[in-house]
């Protein structure tokens, strides 16, 4: 690494590391929703990115409506999260009823169907909001950065997203592993027929699970607006990475999803600085493929007799 | 308690259960005996609603349940222990039992379950899939029992289980009936096990009940001849 002094390198690692953390946060928020939908329900939801975009546009609409009121911008930041969740949740609920519930016996077909859905949704966004990207103004206290030394510059909006990610992760963990709903979800995934035979209404569980997964993607969308502008195709940029995270982490494992989102985001972000985006991506993908060859079930696989 | 009339079940075009009738009373154990492939499991699956019946009626405590989905049948008072146990392998023992509480208001597993199955108390933090076959069978019965059923359906509970544990299971089933006064319908091939628990025996062959008699006075040789291959 010629040309960089030790001090430069430290600063680069810290800042790229932090950029990686922001990327990690959005990726993890996306992946959490997908971990529920793919990891638990085995539905390959190619439209997951578009549900994120719904959350982002919901945030945009909310902020546009509130920004001219006094203090409206401050309120909208906090309102955006539940609104984005709800918007994506409602659409997800409807889509499950319309499309997904007919495809549980044909998992591979969900890939095609949801990919088509993604295209439809993208065009829908384009018709409704225009092809131009929109950006959401953030309140003053989220702008600017924290500078511990002269060379290190950590953006505040990144910190806010990280905090949000921690909260959502804890909420998802609690939902899946401590709540009555989570138990229903895990039973239904393990054995649909048997779940019905112990008294679980599996159709309702499927619908709620899918909708909640979509809602979490909506939260990712709300977070996304603070670091980037939103366009009709913003979601499709993330979908591949998100699937990578879920598969690499071990489908159905929350710890695995977190670990894999972290390692992929960090590797990408730090390598990007030295070798450019494409090479970084190639190297990340190769490493992931290599590791998956050795551990086909992902980083964290549950150990149980079969 | 449970009244089945002219129940017919088909896989596609081929009918497997050709009009079965039986009645079980409250506080009675009915054993349905039959060789492999005679329709025992198909019958049980259609009773709980995993397989749709093509015609006939299933009346539970005066209420027709034959057209309800599984989970509503459970709410109405049926409970099912499938062949091969089918516990949830990735869930802990405690979570497996709790899954049976779905149709109740409470979310607490009653202590009497652990009195019946003390081994499950010891193992409550373990994953269900890591239990032995006999323990999994107890877990499956416990899971069915916490839903406070009126009728308990057990499909071949002794399959693949060692003889000493089979005796324990027979003892537990008698205990359950004594405590709860429920109806138990069990499908079985092991005659000694059946004799230990059943008030009445019915023999199923090729999707029809061809023979029925009282359990205590049953002609064991005759039943055994039906079970012989």
Does A200 contact B71 at a Cβ distance shorter than 8 Å? Answer: yes
Which superfamily does CATH assign the domain made up of B2-227 to? P-loop containing nucleotide triphosphate hydrolases (3.40.50.300)
A305 interaction partners in chain B (CB closer than 8 Å): 89, 129-130
CA distance linking residue A49 with residue B193, whole number of Å: 57
* Backbone angles phi and psi of A28, in degrees to 5: -70, -40
A57: alpha, beta or left? (left if phi > 0; alpha if psi -120 to 50): alpha
**Whose structure tokens read 């055994």?**
B224
Q: How far apart are CA A63 and CA A80, in angstroms?
A: 8
Question: Which of A196, A199, A253 is the best mutation test for B, with the most CBs of B within 10 A?
Answer: A199
Residue B30 bridge partners (DSSP): B185, B200
**Is the pLDDT confidence value at A90 over 90?**
yes
Q: Residue count of chain B, please give it.
A: 229
Strands (E), A134-175: 145-146, 154-155
DSSP E strands: which ranges in B156-224? Answer: 183-188, 200-205, 208-214
Predicted confidence (pLDDT) per residue in A118-127, tens digit: 999 999 999 9
Establish if A267 belongs to a structural domain. no
Q: Do A194 and B107 touch (CB under 8 A)?
A: no
- A250 occurs within a structural domain: no
Q: What is the pLDDT of residue B58?
A: 94
Structural domain boundaries in chain B: 2-227
Ranges A54-68, A174-188, A240-254, B165-179: which has the least confidence = A240-254
Can you tell me the distance from the alpha carbon of B58 to that of B77, in angstroms, rounded to the nearest whole number?
A: 12
Cβ-contact A73, A143 below 8 angstroms: no
* Cβ neighbours around A214 below 10 Å, total: 32
Beta strands in chain A (DSSP E): 145-146, 154-155
A23 or A124: whose pLDDT is higher?
A: A124
pLDDT in tens, chain B (229 residues): 899 999 999 998 889 999 999 999 989 999 999 988 888 999 999 999 999 888 899 999 999 999 999 999 999 999 999 999 899 998 999 999 999 998 888 888 899 999 999 999 999 999 999 999 899 999 999 999 999 999 999 999 999 888 888 999 999 999 999 989 999 999 999 888 999 999 999 999 888 898 888 877 778 888 888 887 6
* Number of Cβ within a 10 Å radius of residue A285: 15
Q: Would the pLDDT of A45 be above 60?
A: yes
Gap from A200 CA to chain B (nearest CA, Å): 5
Helix pair A254-275, A156-177: axis angle to 10 deg: 160
The C-alpha of A109 sits at a distance from chain B's nearest C-alpha, in angstroms, of 24
Confidence of residue A18 (pLDDT cuts 50, 70, 90): confident
Question: Best interface-test mutation with A: which of B49, B71, B77 has the largest number of A CBs within 10 A?
Answer: B71
User: Is A146 a domain residue?
Assistant: yes
DSSP for A222-273 reads HHHHHHS-B-TTHHHHHHHHHHHHHHHH-TT-HHHHHHHHHHHHHHHHHHHH
Q: Does B132 touch chain A (CB under 8 A)?
A: no
Alpha-carbon Rg of chain B, whole angstroms?
17
Paired residues of A230 in beta bridges: A134
A:B CB pairs within 8 Å = 73
Residues of B in contact with A180 (CB under 8 A): 107
B160 and A CB contact within 8 Å:
no
User: What residue has token string 């112990």?
Assistant: A198
Q: Is B107 on the interface with A (CB under 8 A)?
A: yes
On the question of pLDDT at A178 being above 80, the answer is yes
Say what the pLDDT of residue B221 is.
Answer: 83
Is A203 buried (19+), middle (13-18) or exposed (0-12) by CB count in 10 A? middle
Torsion of CA B12, B16, B20, B22, to 10 degrees: -110
**Could you report the per-residue pLDDT of A189-216, keeping only the tens digit for each?**
888 889 999 999 999 999 999 999 999 9
Contact status, residue B141 vs residue B197, Cβ threshold 8 Å: no
Give the pairing type, strands B183-188 and B200-205: unpaired
Instruction: Using CA atoms of A10, A16, A20, A22 in order, give the dihedral in degrees to the nearest 10.
Output: 110
- Domain boundaries, position A78: 26-234
Contact A156, A144 (CB under 8 A): yes
Main-chain phi, psi angles of B21, to 5 degrees: -120, 130
- The answer to whether residue A208 is domain-embedded is yes
CA distance A295 to chain B (A): 19
B chain contacts of residue A184, beta-carbon cutoff 8 Å: 99, 102
Nearest-Cα distance to chain A for B224, in Å, is: 32
Chain B residues lying within 8 Å of A250, measured CB to CB: none
CB contact under 8 A, B99 and A304: no
Interface predicted TM-score of the whole assembly (ipTM), two decimals: 0.88
| pLDDT tens digits, one per residue of A262-292 | 999 888 888 888 888 889 889 989 999 999 9
Chain A residues with beta carbon closer than 8 angstroms to that of B89: 190, 304-306
Total structural domains within chain A = 1
Nearest to A199 among B50, B82, B147 (CB): B147
Residue B159 near chain A (CB below 8 Å): no
Given the structure tokens 């309702």, which residue do they identify? A204
Q: Quick one: pLDDT at residue A302?
A: 66
Q: How confident is the model at residue A2 (pLDDT cuts 50, 70, 90)?
A: low
Residue in A187, A201, A305 nearest the CB of B99: A187
Nearest by CB: B100 against A180, A190, A198: A198
Enter the tokens of residue B52. Answer: 């749709």
**Residues paired with residue A155 on neighbouring β-strands, in sequence order:** A145
B88 — contact with chain A (CB < 8 Å)? yes
Measure CA of the first residue to CA of the last residue in chain A; give whole Å.
Answer: 49
Mean pLDDT along residues A215-234: 90
Q: How many CA atoms lie within 13 A of A65 on its CB side?
A: 12
Residue window 11-70, chain B: list those with CB within 8 Å of chain A: 48-50, 69-70
- Quote the minimal CA–CA distance from A179 to chain B in Å: 11
Cβ-based interface (< 8 Å): residues of A facing B? 180, 183-184, 186-187, 190-191, 193-202, 302, 304-306
């Amino acid at each position: 690494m010629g040309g960089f002094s030790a001090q430069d390198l430290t600063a680069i690692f810290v800042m790229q590391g932090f950029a990686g953390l922001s990327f990690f946060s959005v990726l993890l928020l996306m992946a959490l929703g997908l971990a529920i939908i793919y990891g638990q329900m085995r539905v390959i939801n190619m439209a997951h990115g578009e549900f994120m975009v719904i959350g982002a546009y919901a945030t945009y609409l909310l902020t546009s409506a509130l920004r001219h009121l006094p203090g409206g911008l401050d309120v909208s930041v906090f309102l955006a999260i539940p609104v984005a969740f709800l918007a994506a949740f409602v659409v997800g609920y409807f889509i499950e009823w319309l499309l997904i519930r007919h495809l549980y016996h044909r998992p591979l077909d969900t890939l095609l169907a949801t990919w088509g859905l993604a295209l439809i949704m993208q065009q829908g966004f384009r018709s409704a909001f225009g092809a131009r990207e929109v950006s959401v103004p953030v309140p003053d206290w989220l702008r600017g950065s924290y500078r511990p030394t002269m060379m290190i510059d950590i953006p505040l909006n990144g910190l806010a997203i990280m905090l949000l990610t921690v909260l959502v992760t804890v909420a998802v963990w609690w939902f899946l592993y401590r709540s009555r709903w989570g138990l229903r979800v895990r039973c239904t995934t393990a054995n649909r027929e048997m779940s019905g035979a112990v008294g679980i209404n599996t159709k309702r569980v499927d619908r709620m699970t899918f909708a909640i997964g979509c809602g979490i993607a909506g939260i990712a969308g709300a977070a996304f607006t603070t670091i980037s502008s939103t366009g009709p195709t913003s979601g499709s940029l993330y979908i591949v990475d998100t699937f990578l995270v879920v598969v690499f982490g071990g489908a159905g494992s929350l710890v695995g999803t977190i670990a894999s989102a972290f390692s992929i985001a960090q590797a990408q972000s730090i390598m990007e600085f030295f070798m450019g985006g494409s090479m970084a991506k190639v190297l990340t993908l190769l490493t992931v493929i290599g590791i998956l060859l050795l551990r086909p079930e992902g980083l964290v696989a549950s150990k149980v007799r079969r | 308690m449970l009244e089945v009339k002219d129940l017919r079940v088909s896989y596609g075009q081929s009918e497997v259960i050709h009009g079965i009738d039986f009645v079980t009373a409250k506080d009675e154990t009915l054993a349905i005996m039959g060789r492999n492939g005679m329709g025992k499991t198909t019958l049980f699956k259609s009773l709980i609603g995993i397989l749709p019946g093509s015609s006939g009626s299933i009346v539970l405590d005066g209420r027709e349940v034959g057209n309800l989905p599984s989970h509503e049948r459970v709410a109405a008072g049926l409970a099912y222990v499938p062949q091969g146990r089918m516990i949830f392998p990735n869930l802990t023992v405690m979570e497996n039992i709790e899954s049976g509480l779905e149709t109740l208001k409470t979310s607490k597993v009653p202590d009497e379950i652990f009195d019946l199955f003390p081994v499950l108390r010891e193992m409550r933090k373990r994953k269900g899939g890591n239990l032995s076959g006999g323990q999994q069978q107890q877990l499956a019965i416990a899971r069915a029992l916490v839903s406070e059923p009126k009728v308990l359906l057990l499909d071949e509970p002794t399959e693949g289980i060692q003889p000493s544990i089979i005796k324990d299971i027979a003892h537990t089933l008698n205990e359950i009936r004594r405590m709860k006064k429920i109806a138990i319908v069990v499908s079985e091939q092991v005659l000694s096990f059946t004799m230990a628990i059943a008030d009445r025996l019915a023999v199923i062959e090729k999707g029809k009940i061809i023979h029925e008699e009282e359990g205590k006075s049953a002609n064991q040789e005759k039943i055994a001849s039906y079970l012989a291959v």
